[in-house]
Amino acid sequence: MANLNEISASELLGINNNKRPERDTRTLVLSYIRQNPDGVTAKMAAEAANISERRARTILNELCQAREIYDRKLPDVQSHLFYPNGRLIHKYLQKSKDLGSQIFRISFHEGRKGPRVQIQERKFTLLEGEKVEGSIFVDYNNLESFTSFLDEMLVRFNQFNEDKNGGKKK
Amino acid sequence: MRRTIMVYKIPEVGTTQVGNLSISDLDVETKFSTLFPYIKGREDIEVILRYPDVLRKKQPIELCGFKTDIILRRAQSLEQILMDERQIDIKEGLYESFTADHPILTSFNPEVIWFAPETGISTLEKNMKQLLPTSSLGFDAKMAKEVAKKIVDLIVEKPRTYNFWKRLSQIEYENETLGSVLIEYCIQNGISSKAKWLSGITPLIDAKTPNSVAISHQVNIATATLVQSKYDFGDTVPAYLYTINLNSSMLMPDKWTPLLDDVIRSARVALENQELFDGVFLSIRNLNAISQSQGRVNVVLKLMKKIAEISKVETAPSFWSRLGLIGLAALDLGENYCSVPPNLNLDDVFQSPGGPPEKVYHFGRIMNLNMRERWYANQVQDSTKKHGRGLPPLKKYWDKNLPTNEELVKPARYRINFAKPYNIAAFNNLQDEWEEYITKGDTNPGREFLQSCEAPYNSWGLR
């Protein structure tokens, strides 16, 4: 048994030379998938993270729900393959904003052809914390056109409302 | 990366520090230095959600981390009750909108692991079963139940020793050390309760085991590392506070021990590290016993000064948990945030079941600011009957100074609808006055107030 002065932060977190260098299993699985953009199976992820296949599947499902990865069932492969979402390199300039009961998180990602903006809709529940509801990616080049498109739709909606109310603004 | 920014108001008054604190990515914008309420369970959360006006604007709230599921469930059920009672529509969620106005600090009482009290252990086990499936460990409900059982079994194996902390790194569940499961639980707890600050589940530092300072330091580093890894990953995580839980044995009368030097040194080293810690969090067990000895009080006051110095040099806030009105002395000495339980009780949160059978104790105590003493319900009742006066009316935050007849026969109603909101409003009135004095250039208004209070507060006053 260890002496008290031998207790270290890395031991508490289970980091040692024989095991995985990265403590956070979810981080480890995710980084493994990002390193293998052509897809990995649950078994491969389990082996890479030194965890059971059942546990790997749980984590992979959770990562799918968080839109960090996605899965495909290919006709000639028996098991599901998991891929990194958007094959992103890294995200930066991330900021969240609560707009009433809706939470939006916007971040920039370095894509293969240039920066992209990810817009996530998130939801907070008391016992589950914050979860991703859904997200979209917009290429940086299209961002201005995208916001103009939103403005255009807003104008159209207001016009529609005015027409509906007999020309009176509501 | 430290996310906290503190802007000090100038001119500085004595050792006191006042100003504004912000954490931009968590939308925290609040004042320091201040007293703030400590919420230990369903009754306390009901008080502040029913009567949010007893609070100051943007005032932080400290939650008992081992009871977050109980607290959050009560908040959820209260939402419908308040909508029905008040005929209002709460669209955004009662607790959610509350936390947008009041930043939450989630903390963990050290006595649960130190003494393994039955109530504390069962609360921890339930809370862990509830929260672990939502953590990034990927445990389902069955696995959460199994691992929670392993952890509580380990706690009860040898209480009042460091056996639990020694074995945390040796026992694994599904390839995770129990240490890492405990830390994940701690962090998930902060995330679920929408906390802006998080203290750690760290060992109680005890004089009989000098190495306890080092163990506590390592647990802090492990927790902070994991918080940082989640932050880097893009998760919304609370700012982590370097946590120091001291047993009263650490504080000998008029004796500054080498072990206290170690505590101060480790706090300094931690806060010098801009990467991992956003402030320092302290708790001291058994303050009532310490208050009986002026020599021990002197040592705590010295400790407060030293922590305040480090906090100021590193521009990282200091939080003191459950100080009660002793917090006024701490504010004088330069501490930034001091929590006060709404029942003004400084004993451990988790104690052996039972309590005094006399009904008068079930009503709790209430602060009479004029008399500078805590009154029992029968004193409030006598004052109401004999003089029609009740308690002194408060200037702000709460206008009820007489309990209703119904409240006087039902302890829970008395506590929820009268005593606890009154106490919170009372210490917020004191806080306002403290700020006024400080603005005028006074140096020790808190300790001046305490010197004429009843025990245990008077020993913290000016001598």
Q: Does some domain include residue A123?
A: yes
Alpha carbon separation from B441 to A45, B429, B436 (Å, rounded): 63, 19, 9
| Facing residue for A127 by CB, picked from B92, B130, B233 | B130
CB-based contacts of B261, cutoff 8 Å, min separation 6: none
What is the CATH classification number for the domain harbouring A21? 1.10.10.10
CB–CB contact A9 B194 (8 Å): no
Q: Do residues A73 and A111 both lie within one domain? A: no
B321 preceded by a cis bond (ω within 30 of 0): no
pTM: 0.79
Q: Count other C-beta atoms under 10 Å from residue A160's C-beta.
A: 10
Estimate to the nearest angstrom the gap between the alpha carbon of B33 and the chain centroid. 15
Q: Does some domain include residue A55?
A: yes
Residue at a domain's end among A85, A112, A134? A85
CB–CB contact A9 B221 (8 Å): yes
| 3-state DSSP assignment of residue B6 | strand
Residue at a domain's end among A60, A85, A110? A85
Q: Do residues A48 and A31 both lie within one domain? A: yes
More confident residue, B386 or A149: A149
pLDDT of residue A89: 46
- Residue A73 belongs to domain spanning: 10-85
Asked whether B232 and B138 are in contact (CB, 8 A), the reply is no
Q: Structural domain tally of chain A?
A: 2
Q: How far apart are CA B185 and CA B383, in angstroms?
A: 48
pLDDT of residue A90: 53
Q: Does some domain include residue A98?
A: yes
Q: Does some domain include residue A170?
A: no
Q: Does some domain include residue A169?
A: no
Residues 39-58 in A contacting B (C-alpha not used; CB under 8 Å): 50-52, 55, 58
Asked whether A43 and A6 are in contact (CB, 8 A), the reply is no
| 3-state DSSP assignment of residue B320 | strand
Token readout for B435 is 């700020």
Task: List the single range of A126-130, A152-156, B166-170 with lowest mean pLDDT.
Answer: A126-130
Asked whether B154 and B178 are in contact (CB, 8 A), the reply is yes
The whole-number average pLDDT for the span A34-63 is 83
pLDDT of residue B11: 60
> Is the pLDDT at A144 greater than 60, yes or no?
yes
Chain A residues near residue B230 by CB distance under 8 angstroms: 24
Residue of B nearest to A2 (CA): B166
Task: Give pLDDT tens digits along chain B (463 positions).
Answer: 789 999 888 566 677 888 999 998 898 999 999 999 999 999 999 999 999 999 999 999 999 999 999 999 999 999 989 988 888 777 778 999 999 999 999 999 999 999 999 999 999 999 999 999 888 888 889 999 999 999 999 999 999 999 999 999 899 998 889 999 999 999 999 999 999 999 999 999 999 999 999 999 999 999 998 898 888 777 889 999 999 999 999 999 999 999 999 999 999 999 987 778 999 999 999 999 999 999 999 999 999 999 999 999 999 999 999 999 999 999 999 999 999 999 999 999 998 666 666 777 899 999 999 989 999 999 998 887 777 778 999 999 999 999 999 999 999 999 999 999 999 999 999 999 999 999 888 889 999 999 999 988 999 998 7
DSSP B453: S
Q: Which residues on neighbouring strands pair with residue B114, listed in sequence order?
A: none
A165 pLDDT band, cuts 50/70/90, is confident
Q: How far apart are CA B451 and CA B463, in angstroms?
A: 7
Asked whether B317 and B21 are in contact (CB, 8 A), the reply is yes
Chain A residues near residue B139 by CB distance under 8 angstroms: 58
Q: Do residues A114 and A78 both lie within one domain? A: no
Alpha carbon separation from A76 to A57, A72, A81, B15 (Å, rounded): 20, 12, 11, 73
CB–CB contact B169 A12 (8 Å): yes
Interface test with B, best of A4, A67, A103 (most B CBs within 10 A): A4
CB-based contacts of B336, cutoff 8 Å, min separation 6: B17, B21, B32, B33, B34, B279, B311, B317, B318, B319
Q: Do residues A139 and A71 both lie within one domain? A: no
Interface test with A, best of B23, B204, B236 (most A CBs within 10 A): B236
Residue of B nearest to A52 (CA): B174
- Write down all domains in chain B, each with its CATH number in brackets: 4-340 (3.20.20), 359-434 (no CATH)
Task: Give counts: helices (H), strands (E), chain B.
Answer: 19, 17
Token readout for B83 is 């909508």
Q: Does some domain include residue A152?
A: yes
Residue at a domain's end among A85, A100, A131? A85
Q: What is the pLDDT of residues A85-126, one digit of tens each?
A: 754 445 667 788 888 778 898 888 766 677 889 898 987 776
The ipTM of this complex is 0.83
Q: Do residues A80 and A117 both lie within one domain? A: no
Asked whether A119 and A107 are in contact (CB, 8 A), the reply is no
